[in-house]
Structure 1
Amino acid sequence: MSDLIIRDGYIVSPQGVTRASIYVSGGKIAAFGEKFDIRGVDVVDASGMYVFPGFVDEHVHFREPGYEWKEDFSTGSAAAAAGGVTTVLEMSNTVPPVADASTLRKKAELVRSKSWVDYGLYGVLTDQSLNNLEEMLEAGAVGFKAFLGPTTGDIEQPSDPTIIEALTLSREKGFTIAFHCENRHLVHHYEQKARREPVSPLSHLHSRPAICEVDSVIKINYYAAKTGGRALIVHLSSGEAVDYLRGNKAPSVFVETCPQYLLLDSNDYQRFGNLIKVNPPIRFPEDREKLLQGLRANVITNIGSDHAPHTLEEKRKNVFEAPAGMFGVELQGPLMVDMALRGRIHLEKVAEVLSTNPAKTFGLYPRKGGLLIGSDADFAIFDPRTPTKIQAAKLHSKHRFTPFDGREILAKHRYTVLRGKIIAVDGEPIGAAAGQWIKHG
Structure 2
Amino acid sequence: MRVLVTGGTLVTASGQVRADLLCTDGRIAGILESGGAAAADERVDASGLLVFPGFIDPHVHSRDPGQTAKEDFAHSTLAALCSGVTTLLEMPNAVPPISDRATFEERAAAHERTASVDFGLWGQAFGASNLDDLPGLLDAGAVAIKLFWGYALDKRTKKLVYNTGDAAPDDIIAPPDAGDVLRVFEVIGARGGLLAAHCEDREIVLGGERAIGGEIRTYQDLLDGRPALAEIAAVSRAAEFSRVTGCRFHVVHTSTARALEIVRAARADGIPITAEACPHYLLLSDADHERYGSGMKVFPPIRGADDQEALWAAIADGTVASVGSDHAPHTLEELEGSLATRPAGVHGVETMVPLMLNEMARGRLAPERVAAVLAEQTARLYSIDHRKGRIAPGLDADLTLVDPHRERRIVAGELHTKHKASVYDGWTVRGTAVASLLRGEVVMRDGEPVAQRRGRLVRTSAAEAADAAVSVA
Question: TM class by shorter-chain length?
Answer: over 0.9
Asked whether the equivalents of residues 146 and 197 of structure 2 are also in contact (C-alpha less than 8 Å), the reply is yes
Instruction: Mark the runs of 5 or more structure 2 residues left unpaired by the alignment.
Output: 153-158, 162-172, 462-473
| Separation (CA, whole Å) in 2 of partners of 1:16 and 1:55 | 16
Q: Give the letter aligned to residue 310 of structure 2.
A: K
- Is 1:200 the counterpart of 2:255? The answer is no
Q: Once the 2 structures are TM-superposed, how far is the Cα of residue 77 of structure 1 from its aligned partner?
A: 0.2
Q: How big is the alpha-carbon RMSD for the aligned residues of Structure 1 and Structure 2? A: 1.7
Q: Give the letter aligned to residue 147 of structure 1.
A: F
* SS of residue in 2 equivalent to 1:410: strand
Q: Once the 2 structures are TM-superposed, how far is the Cα of residue 36 of structure 1 from its aligned partner?
A: 4.2
Out of 167-176 and 106-115, give the one that drifted further. 167-176
Q: Give the letter aligned to residue 256 of structure 1.
A: E
Q: Once the 2 structures are TM-superposed, how far is the Cα of residue 196 of structure 1 from its aligned partner?
A: 5.2
Partner of 1:75: 75
Asked whether the equivalents of residues 147 and 156 of structure 1 are also in contact (C-alpha less than 8 Å), the reply is no
- Is 1:137 the counterpart of 2:138? The answer is yes
| Separation (CA, whole Å) in 1 of partners of 2:67 and 2:177 | 27
CA displacement 1:169-216 (0-9 Å, x = unmatched): 333322211111111121122123234567124432222111010000
Q: Give the letter aligned to residue 415 of structure 1.
A: A
Asked whether the equivalents of residues 90 and 119 of structure 1 are also in contact (C-alpha less than 8 Å), the reply is yes
Q: Give the letter aligned to residue 208 of structure 2.
A: Y
Partner of 1:361: 381
- Is 1:280 the counterpart of 2:286? The answer is no
| Separation (CA, whole Å) in 1 of partners of 2:51 and 2:403 | 9
| Separation (CA, whole Å) in 1 of partners of 2:426 and 2:206 | 36
Q: Give the letter aligned to residue 394 of structure 2.
A: G
* SS of residue in 1 equivalent to 2:86: strand
| Separation (CA, whole Å) in 2 of partners of 1:230 and 1:94 | 24
Out of 37-46 and 364-373, give the one that drifted further. 37-46
| Separation (CA, whole Å) in 2 of partners of 1:88 and 1:150 | 25
- Is 1:383 the counterpart of 2:403? The answer is yes
Asked whether the equivalents of residues 302 and 357 of structure 1 are also in contact (C-alpha less than 8 Å), the reply is yes
Asked whether the equivalents of residues 216 and 339 of structure 2 are also in contact (C-alpha less than 8 Å), the reply is no
- Is 1:372 the counterpart of 2:392? The answer is yes
Partner of 1:18: 17
Partner of 1:180: 198
CA displacement 1:97-152 (0-9 Å, x = unmatched): 21112222222222221011111111111121111111222333222100014497
| Separation (CA, whole Å) in 2 of partners of 1:198 and 1:187 | 13
Asked whether the equivalents of residues 23 and 36 of structure 1 are also in contact (C-alpha less than 8 Å), the reply is no
Q: Once the 2 structures are TM-superposed, how far is the Cα of residue 247 of structure 1 from its aligned partner?
A: 2.1
Asked whether the equivalents of residues 203 and 319 of structure 1 are also in contact (C-alpha less than 8 Å), the reply is no
Partner of 2:167: none
Asked whether the equivalents of residues 6 and 21 of structure 1 are also in contact (C-alpha less than 8 Å), the reply is yes
* SS of residue in 1 equivalent to 2:76: helix
* SS of residue in 1 equivalent to 2:264: helix
Number of positions where the alignment pairs a residue of Structure 1 with one of Structure 2: 440
| Separation (CA, whole Å) in 1 of partners of 2:138 and 2:265 | 33
Percent identity of paired positions between Structure 1 and Structure 2: 36
- Is 1:256 the counterpart of 2:263? The answer is no
Asked whether the equivalents of residues 175 and 440 of structure 1 are also in contact (C-alpha less than 8 Å), the reply is no
> Residues 414 and 115 of structure 1: is their aligned pair in 2 closer, same or farther, counting only changes over 3 Å?
same
- Is 1:270 the counterpart of 2:277? The answer is no
| Separation (CA, whole Å) in 2 of partners of 1:49 and 1:279 | 37
Instruction: Mark the runs of 5 or more structure 1 residues left unpaired by the alignment.
Output: none
